[in-house]
Structure 1
């Protein structure tokens, strides 16, 4: 959290946010070096500072490190460690000796000395610092109209809102540093910053245009979604509802604005289909961009490919059996909300890849096979997943592989980046998808007692899941997986919307349970679940059940537990507390229980 003496204008090509259009000029700026602030108080300088503020979104430096040090995966904006591994979506993966700080997070046994928390903290405050520098210089910038300055300020406050939103949901006790107090970074963290985050997003919403001319620019609708999400995290349902009403009507593609559900669920995880109508707020990634660096190619996910596979590295981020079982459906195509682990999906634990195995023949939600790589099912166009031979240690972390972060074989020359010891990719990190927005809107309506509207929103998501375009199909010829797919589904996919009136009949508890479960299915492996469980107040219950079930299958989470009153938030990094000493007193307070 140390404020830099000089302003560094970072390359933006790897880190713009996507809204709805593509402008290569915005994505392909080269680093301009380090300049004094006075050199930047003009239109070009302010634009460069804004680009640098966007550039911190992916948390990565120009090499294979995070901003201000640390490994890139420690600061991954997808939050795959902090939001998914910690929540039971996935095992850490690999083997017991690899990346032990992740193991601590996976079992709930983390403390302020875990360096991963410090890396993430530093990266997010780097983003805050860049925005604050811009805002401090903006009022006196020359060659700009008042309207232009307002537009830049709106984008900057949107970005600062994002960085602080991430800090708040991670650490809770966060100091507020803005352009008015940035000279003294030793600010206390004993005041709730949610109102200030609201204010940043509100200004952005009030002053941003509905569309932008270039990809990576926040627009009015992205700000509306983020402001509504802030209200959801605060359980301010009456404040959130008008925004969701607006987003889900005026923000629909039928009204000329960019948002809606794609017909194919998988398009949200295919670099060839990125920037689609479902992507509300995403970090733009590129590959093979001529820099010779992987920094622009989603290096936060570089560990998360099957082991001993065509990808080369590294066997992390293995989905759990608990997650896989969640995709079981009953005869009507609905999920088992309460006892899904009593309907376990067949796996290939302890079965060699050279031995026969037949995948589960029961009813399944097809989103499973776009989320999880499992034995005998097409792994994109890389062939049927072979099972054990692609897993580093089945006994340790189970039989599955991640899938949402993986590029296809047929166009890997365009979307894979080979410029490091582990693969990079041009797959965007989508921080807000329209389906996420719909499910937040459903949660809002259910909490307000509007069960029919909540059900409608959920059913939009489930209807897309049930479309033939969402199914995974068998190859025409297993021996040549790039030769195309047949018309035969790879599994017995049965998924359907809730019958009309189900939520009203079941009441608020049932409606919320169904919405919570739908978020688990739709947003699995996207770094969201831990923060959802915490804000719902059910983290202790759900993770206790998860550890009891999953620890009978693998050895990596033995002894895992969620400590109520402690684990709701990650600890303020000890390094930051030490740096906050002023005289003989520490400015930063630690969270409860650490």
Structure 2
């Protein structure tokens, strides 16, 4: 019976309303004290429960920094001892099944999916009579469920597929589903969201809610991920050649006229300019004490820097394991490019009068906007922004034989905003991916881009040969490394229910 209880906790979740310490601007009132059978009595109950599903996004910036940015050629963090989870990720360690972040990411995503499934299951005209409100709640819920499943597929490949609430005993009989089956649910959920969500909201209280354009942007990213070069038989890339489907969605966003590039790159991330015209979908955070802000900012800066610069309850990375922005990435920025100076802090006082040579991502940090502690940064985190929509279009055009002049125009628009006035012509696919690397530094996209493009193995091996001065990163990188290990406690729940991914 103990194993069944563990599975219930891991796969199905503790309760629909259990909240973490980090809350978004959406209503986050706990609902865990009420069972799901008795809770959903009216529209307000569903809105409150939906806030619980949004609340699961608080881990998104951390997961994608640790499992995408740190995994890539953007960050070098071998660690002195090499025992931190993020060191193991950076070093392509094969023992990741026991790493805490593998377990917390899997658990968190399934907890969020359980909450979403419960809402979809309970939602009916009997309790939410207004058709528009009911379909909007369902659309938002399915958008979030699709996002969580997309993360699972990108991180783990095949995963158990739950599209409804199940009992612990039922869960014991549900194996990992093929990636294609998981994608079927993701695509259906996003298509529903596109059809039933508004393009935008008129009320300030609805800031941060999913829109039809957010669903289009995410579905375009899904189609492009599926369409890339398949190197792993059970990974997220299928070689489906769905570039035209992605282009249709991207053009709908672009032609809406609702979004634009912010004039200044720095203003995208300004604390007084949140929800600006570049944001297609972001995660809302606020400051106010008692752990209501965003913790993700402290995952970038070193602890010594925090202490010397007055960040309360400093936090930050450990002295034996800084997350150093790679020399290769820094060298890729043209001299007039403003993005590196804004995004990366170079050199700081370690508190003992020594100026270090370390580099860390600072694009989310504003020392004039500190909360009460390291969990209390209020800056929203961008999941999809308009620059990504444009560069995804350039990539899809490049892959599908589209207009070269359109590709060049997009890339030059992005570069011009970054302060690079000299135009480029005949932009290649590799150049598009490098421009994405510079534009989205620290936004958790780089590893996903490398996997989608089929470039991950070659790029990482070349980068390791140049960058790994500590000689700690494995050079035995194969297609097995394109997805992560299934957490060991999942394998232990019921023998034979899941198999470990090859290479771990």
Query: 2: distance between equivalents of 1:536 and 1:41?
Result: 47
Identify the residue that residue 586 of structure 1 maps to in structure 2.
Answer: 496
1:218-297 matches, within 5 Å, as: 218-235=210-227, 236-250=242-256, 252=257, 257=258, 259-288=259-288, 292-294=289-291, 296-297=292-293
Cα offset, 1:545, TM superposition: 1.3
* Corresponding position of 2:344: 372
User: Where does residue 6 of structure 2 map in the other structure?
Assistant: none
Q: How does the TM-score come out when normalised to structure 1?
A: 0.73
**Structure 1 residues 260 and 215, CA, compared in 2 at 3 Å: closer, same or farther?**
same
Give unpaired runs (5+ residues) of structure 1.
17-26, 60-74, 330-362, 376-385, 467-493, 504-510
CA offsets 1:251-287 (integer angstroms, 9 cap, x no match)? x2xxxx2x11100101222222211111111111111
Q: CA deviation at 1:133?
A: 0.9
- SS of structure 2 residue aligned to 1:272: coil
Which structure has the highest helix share of the two? 2
| Contact 1:417 1:424 survives alignment (8 Å) | yes
Aligned length: 461
TM-score, normalised on structure 2? 0.85
Aligned partner (choices 389, 396, 402) of residue 361 of structure 2: 402
Structure 1 Cα separation of the partners of residues 396 and 140 of structure 2:
27
Instruction: Indicate the SS of the match to 1:302.
Output: helix
Check the 8 A contact 2:281/2:383 in 1, yes or no.
yes
- Other structure's SS at 1:139 match: coil
- After the TM superposition, which residues 49-448 of structure 1 pair with which residues of structure 2 at under 5 Å, given as runs? 49-59=49-59, 76-77=61-62, 79-92=64-77, 96-97=80-81, 100-111=84-95, 112-139=97-124, 141-179=126-164, 181=166, 184-186=170-172, 187-192=174-179, 193-212=182-201, 213=203, 214-235=206-227, 236-250=242-256, 252=257, 257=258, 259-288=259-288, 292-294=289-291, 296-306=292-302, 307-308=304-305, 309-310=308-309, 311=311, 312-315=314-317, 316-327=322-333, 329=334, 363-375=335-347, 386=348, 399-409=358-368, 412=369, 416-419=370-373, 422=374, 424-448=376-400
Q: Which residue of 1 aligns with 2:491?
A: 577
Instruction: Tell me how far 1:13 sits from its aligned partner.
Output: 8.1
CA shift, 1:97, in A, is 4.5
Give 1:9 shift: 5.9
Q: Secondary structure at the match of 1:234?
A: helix
* Residue 325 to residue 287, structure 1, CA distance change in 2 (3 Å): same
Distance 1:393 1:197 in 2: 48
Q: SS where residue 432 of structure 1 aligns? A: strand
Q: Distance in 1 between matches of 2:94 and 2:126?
A: 45
| Equivalent residue runs for 1:444-483 within 5 Å | 444-450=396-402, 451-466=404-419
Moved more, 129-138 or 188-197: 188-197
Separation in structure 1 between the aligned mates of residue 157 and residue 108 of structure 2, nearest angstrom: 16
Give the corresponding residue for 2:237. none
**Structure 1 residue aligned with 2:5:** none
**3-state SS of paired residue (1:517):** helix
Structure 2 unaligned residues grouped into runs of 5+: 1-9, 228-241
CA distance in 1, matches of 2:51, 2:327: 42
Deviation of residue 364 (structure 1)?
A: 4.0
